[in-house]
Amino acid sequence: MCGFVAILGREQAAPGLLLGLQAIQHRGQDAAGIATLNGHGLHLKKGMGMIAQAVGDLEGLTGNAGIAHVRYPTAGVHATSEDAQPFFTRRMGLLLAHNGNVTNVPEVKEGLRKQGVHVMSQCDAEPILLVLAQELTARRASNHTKHDLRGAIAALFARVRGAYSVVLLMELEGERTLVAFRDPHGIRPGVWGRSEDGWVAASESVSLDVLGVEKAGDLPCGAALLFRLDREPELLEVAAPEPRPCVFERIYFARPDSRMEDGRVNRTRWRLGRQLAREWQAKGLDADVIVAVPDSSRPAAMAMAEELDIKHREGFIKNRYSGRTFIMPDQASRESALRLKLNPIREIFEGQRVLLVDDSIVRGSTMRRIVEMVRGLGPAELHVAIFSPPVREACFYGIDMPTREELVAARLQPDELADHFGADSLTYLSREGLAEVSGPDICAACFDGRYVVPVSAEERAQITANRRP
C-alpha cells in the first residue's frame, strides 16, 4: 500500500506536495519522495523513513509540477532508497508514481530485458514506467499524441497485471500534462480536484482537503484523465471498466474522513458497525461497555453502542507518534510498537463486561497482546467483535498479507480463536453482512479468495518470496 499526490499548477508545487503528502502518511512509513519539474529539468529528493526523514526541507525542489509519494513495501525484502518513488526516465522525460502491486513482475521484467531494458530497483513502479516508455517509443520517438498515449496505456494494461493507480507527468502534444489512470478494476483508490491555479490528483481526498481543493471525482477505471493548464480535463477511454474497489481500504487503510466512490469512509465503517451489532445481538450476548481499539474502529464501535444501547468509552490512550503497527516491517517491530502504542485505562475495564471492537485480525499477535493487557485489569467478561469477516486469504494487490500460514483465521475457527486470545467470545462480521453494506461489486479476496485479477501459483510463490519478513 502506498500513497501519492500530484500537482500541476502555476505556482511552486513543492509546498502543496509536502502538505498533501503529510495527510496520507498513514499509507506508508517505509520511504518517501518528492520530485518537481521546471524548465531546467528534474529536482528530486527521496529516501527511507517517514516524510520528514526522507525528504527534509524543500530546498531545490522548484517547478510548477510534481509528484510526491509515501511507500509501504509489498515487494523488496531489503528495500533501499533506490526503491522509493517517484521514478523518472531522462530520455523520455516521464515522471511517475503508483499505488498498488504488479502480480507478474518477472514476466514484465523478462519482456523488457529482451528489448534491452533493465529494471534496476525492487519497486514495481519502475516496470510500469519502463513499459509505458517503451510502448510510447514504439509509436513515436517524440512529440507524442493522445492517440500514442491511449495505445501505450492499452498495451500496459495487457502486459502488466495486478492492481495499480498511476500518476504521470509528461510532455504531450507540446504541453506539460498530468496523466492519471487506474487499471480496469480500480482496486486501488485515486481522486482528483481543481485548485485555484491548476490540478491535483491523490490517493485519498484528505490530501485535497488540506490543500483547500474540492474533490471533483474519482480517477476513472480503465481510462486516463489528462490535466493541462487553462483546459478542462480530458478523458481517454482505454479499456472497458469493471470496478472492484478494495473493501479493506474502507475497513482499515483509508482515513475515516476520506471520500471514495461509495461515500465517506467514516459512514461505511459506521454502517459496518450497525450490521455487526445486529449479528452480535443475535448471539444472545450482552455487555456493560463498548471500547474501540483505536483508531480505525471508532466509528464502528460508536455505531454498535448506539444500536445496542450500551455505553461507549475510550479505554485506551494511544501514543500518536508510534506509527501503524500493521505496516511495520517485521513482527518484532510490530510487537514492540504495540507496547508503546496503546495504554489501557484500568477503571474502564475493571469489573465490567467489556466488548472490544476492532477492524480486523490478520496475524493475530496484536489482538492477543491487547486481550492480555485488558485481562490483567480484571474485567468480568471480555468479548471481541470485528467489523470485517475473517481474513483467510493472501492479498496480492498491494496489502502485505503474503501467505495463508501467517493468517490466524485461516488456521482457527472463531471459537478456537477466542480461546487462543483469552477472550470469552469472538464475533466476526459475516460475509453476507459485509455484502449488505458494501454491495457485491468489491474486491474482498482477502475474505473470500475470489481474486479479481487471476494470480497463478507461480506468481503467488514469487510474490511471497519477494515480500518483507
Q: What amino acid positions are annotated as catalytic residues?
A: 2
Return the C-alpha cell found at 362: 490478520
Separation between Cα atoms, residue 148 and residue 165, nearest integer Å: 20
Look at the block and give the residue holding cell 508510534. 322
| Backbone CA torsion sign across 393, 395, 401, 405 | positive
- Residue 212: exposure state from Cβ atoms within 10 A (0-12, 13-18, ≥19): exposed
| Backbone CA torsion sign across 202, 206, 209, 211 | negative
How many angstroms from the chain centroid is the CA of residue 182?
14
Separation between Cα atoms, residue 245 and residue 263, nearest integer Å: 12
Query: Which conformational region is residue 378 in: left (phi greater than 0), alpha (psi within -120 to 50 degrees), or beta?
Result: left
How many angstroms from the chain centroid is the CA of residue 175?
31
Bridge partners (DSSP) of residue 344 are 316
- Residue 122: exposure state from Cβ atoms within 10 A (0-12, 13-18, ≥19): middle
How many angstroms from the chain centroid is the CA of residue 17?
18
